[in-house]
Structure 1
Amino acid sequence: MGILNVTPDSFSDGARFNQFDQALAHAEEMIEQGADIIDIGGESTRPGAKAVSESEEIKRVIPLVERVSRLGVPVSVDTSKPGVMRASAEAGAGMINDVRALTEPGALAVVSEIKLPVCLMHMQGQPRTMQHNPSYQDVVSEVKGFLRERIAACVNAGIDTSLIAIDPGFGFGKTLPHNLELLTQLSCFNDLNVPILAGLSRKSMLGQITGRDVNDRLAASLAVALIAMQQGAKIIRVHDVKQTSDVKKIFIATNTAELI
């Protein structure tokens, strides 16, 4: 899953692709490099990020969804707003990626209606405050319990489990020890019987470990991508598609003895 942020303030690539032509060219480049899904986001969810209105998010995202959806790979839209979800579906999106796990009023009903696959993510708190002293008794069991509840809520709303994926939300209301515990025990989430998405690319946890700046975390990002694959993650959300695609190919080859 290649990341395409059309925002002025995302933590890694803010303002790089918030012009339509630049964003489209980057989507095309990621597809050429091996992206299976393009994930378009119009509102930054980095720590401290400011909220964006629904109308502004639609203005940023929908023209790009309409164009990128014609390029031959599914388009995911990273949003929590029901209006953006509906507009994205009408524009050709193939998936909804929600950091709030369809907890916003009306979100469950819209996804049930549009019948698109959805990824449910765990986040403690909200983007502006989520890194202010996050606390857990047992981070793995609490995150897993939340995701189990959200899967059940989706099923109760008429969303088939075949359309659901989950994301433990690395960096979203978690300290470095929390993130490491989730990563090393990611396989525990496999018994929820839905695909796992792992989004670790260039995250601050990697900077804390390596001391590297956000744009100098490629090696660390590839390392955690491989660990996530080994733990059973089926979708890896990344900035560096070309290099991660190579990691995926090596991982598959060494696990199946067959290159793809």
Structure 2
Amino acid sequence: MNRTRTSPGPGVLLPVIDAPLRLIGGRLFDFSQEVAVMAIINRTPDSFYDQGATFALDASVLAAHQAIADGADWIDIGGAKFAPGAAVPIDQEIDRVVPVVEALRGSGVVISVDTFHPAVAAASIAAGAHVINDTTGVHDPAMADVIADSDATLVITHSLAAPRMPYPAPHYDDIAAEVSAFLLARVDRAVRRGVQPDRIVIDPGHDLNKTTRQSLELTRRLGEITGLGLPTLVAVSNKDFVGESLDRPRGERVEGSLAAAVVCILQGARIVRMHNVRAAVDAARMTEAILGFREPAYERHNLA
């Protein structure tokens, strides 16, 4: 059931977030009035966006430090892409992500690992990761056990297919209601296995087993997801629903991605997973300022 909404001004209604104060990786976030920007580092040779540009360890670490310099609050490290394809051996995925986690320890940002394998999650947490981003929504219940035995935060994402399997022509009778029901069920799965609710974040999974029209509708109705009362992450950056809406290839979707992120923030999203970090940070901070969540950096214009 959606929580009562609050209004920072005419025309804007924001959901109430349960336990908005979250200590993650030594940083205190107030998700009632703060947006975190999550940068994306892919240690894969076939990544969706950068096509392997950060596959090499030194390239991935350099990109992570650049993202931090550009204002990223979180770094999300992935060693296997979501898209269907041959499985990446677990040992190989660990070898890809753990060195990046170790290189970023002490950097002051939240370190997240994008994986659906409990063994990869356990190795990543042992190396210093603060968040596990499971794009299969705790498909394997053992993932919840790993999180419950740690201090890590768990991101539970909506997706319907088994890991790395195709899901052609997805159908939803009511996409917001069905995504909400899925997320609540998987949150319940995690909680029943010992994960504290104040260490859970949800993600509606834009484009994951969804068509462009379905992702657009989900964006329009994101308030029904954020209204569940948990901090909501959105991963809209350079997705196909942006490209197909604008007829833009990969690499030319920055403006559309920023527009989608801002629409989501206005409906209560509090973590935005983005490739183009500096632009995303500026968009998030400007939206916070408009909503009255933050003061201007300075004020000179038209002052005597």
Indicate the TM-score class for this superposition, using the shorter chain for normalisation.
over 0.9
Corresponding residue to 2:236 among 192, 200, 204: 200
Moved over 2 A (4+): 126-131
Q: CA deviation at 1:148?
A: 0.5
Using the alignment, how far apart are the partners of 1:124 and 1:57 within structure 2? 22
Equivalences for residues 63-212 of structure 1 within 5 A: 63-126=99-162, 128-212=164-248
Structure 1: which 5+ residue stretches go unaligned?
none
What secondary structure, in the 3-state scheme, does the structure 2 residue paired with 1:4 have? strand
Q: Deviations over 1:154-184 (max 9, x none)?
A: 1111111110000000011001111011100
Using the alignment, how far apart are the partners of 1:122 and 1:109 within structure 2? 19
Say which is worse superposed, 30-39 or 94-103, in terms of deviation.
94-103
Using the alignment, how far apart are the partners of 1:170 and 1:73 within structure 2? 25
The match for 1:18 is 55
The match for 1:242 is 278
**Aligned residues between the structures:** 259
Using the alignment, how far apart are the partners of 2:105 and 2:267 within structure 1? 30
RMSD between aligned alpha carbons? 1.3
What secondary structure, in the 3-state scheme, does the structure 2 residue paired with 1:114 have? coil
Question: Which structure has more strand as a fraction of its residues?
Answer: 2
The code of the aligned residue for 1:39 comes to D
What secondary structure, in the 3-state scheme, does the structure 2 residue paired with 1:40 have? strand
Corresponding residue to 2:65 among 13, 28, 39: 28
The match for 1:3 is 40
Q: CA deviation at 1:207?
A: 1.1
Structure with greater Cα Rg: 2
What secondary structure, in the 3-state scheme, does the structure 2 residue paired with 1:96 have? strand
What secondary structure, in the 3-state scheme, does the structure 1 residue paired with 2:155 have? strand
Q: Structure 1 residues 97 and 172, CA, compared in 2 at 3 Å: closer, same or farther?
A: same
Q: Calculate percent identity across the aligned residue pairs.
A: 36
Q: CA deviation at 1:24?
A: 0.6
What secondary structure, in the 3-state scheme, does the structure 2 residue paired with 1:65 have? helix
Question: Which structure has more helix as a fraction of its residues?
Answer: 1
Higher relative contact order (CA 8 A, sep 6+): 2
Q: Deviations over 1:44-96 (max 9, x none)?
A: 113x3332111110011101111112211110000010111110111000100
TM-score in terms of structure 1 length: 0.96
Using the alignment, how far apart are the partners of 2:141 and 2:155 within structure 1? 17
